[in-house]
């Protein structure tokens, strides 16, 4: 019974985690995104095919990626350098900005 209760709590935690990550301010993110634009473009569509398109990605995915770059759990020397200077609010705001842009679309089944 204890195991089942712990599993339920873990599932609830996973369910609410994206909402916690994705609560940034897109307008503040736009003003904070200047360093990102060199590679990802001002609206997240990239400046060359080698750079990931951020526009239209899910905010929780973008925030998680930045948190992981900052902590070193996700490896990329360039992104780790940029992310190291970001606060939690900066990350959430940047994620909200790029997620709010027209871009990648996902199929809904």
Domain boundaries, the chain: 2-99
Residue-wise pLDDT for 5-48, tens only, equals 555 544 444 444 444 455 899 999 999 999 999 999 999 999 99
Q: What is the pTM of this model?
A: 0.76
CATH topology (fold) of 2-99:
Cytochrome Bc1 Complex; Chain D, domain 2 (1.10.760)
Site of tokens 């992310």:
83
Whether residue 4 has pLDDT greater than 70:
no
Residue-wise pLDDT for 89-106, tens only, equals 999 999 999 999 998 655
Residue 34 tokens, joined: 């200047």
Site of tokens 């940029």:
82
């Amino acid at each position: 019974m204890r195991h089942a209760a712990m599993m339920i709590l873990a599932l609830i935690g996973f369910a609410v985690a994206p909402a916690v990550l994705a609560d940034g301010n897109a307008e503040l993110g736009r003003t904070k995104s200047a360093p990102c634009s060199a590679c990802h473009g001002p609206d997240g569509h990239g400046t060359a095919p080698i750079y990931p398109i951020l526009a239209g990605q899910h905010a929780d995915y973008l925030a998680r990626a930045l948190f992981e770059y900052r902590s070193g759990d996700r490896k990329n020397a360039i992104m780790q350098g940029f992310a190291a200077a970001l606060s939690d609010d900066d990350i959430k705001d940047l994620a909200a900005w790029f997620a709010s842009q027209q871009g990648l679309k996902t199929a809904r089944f």
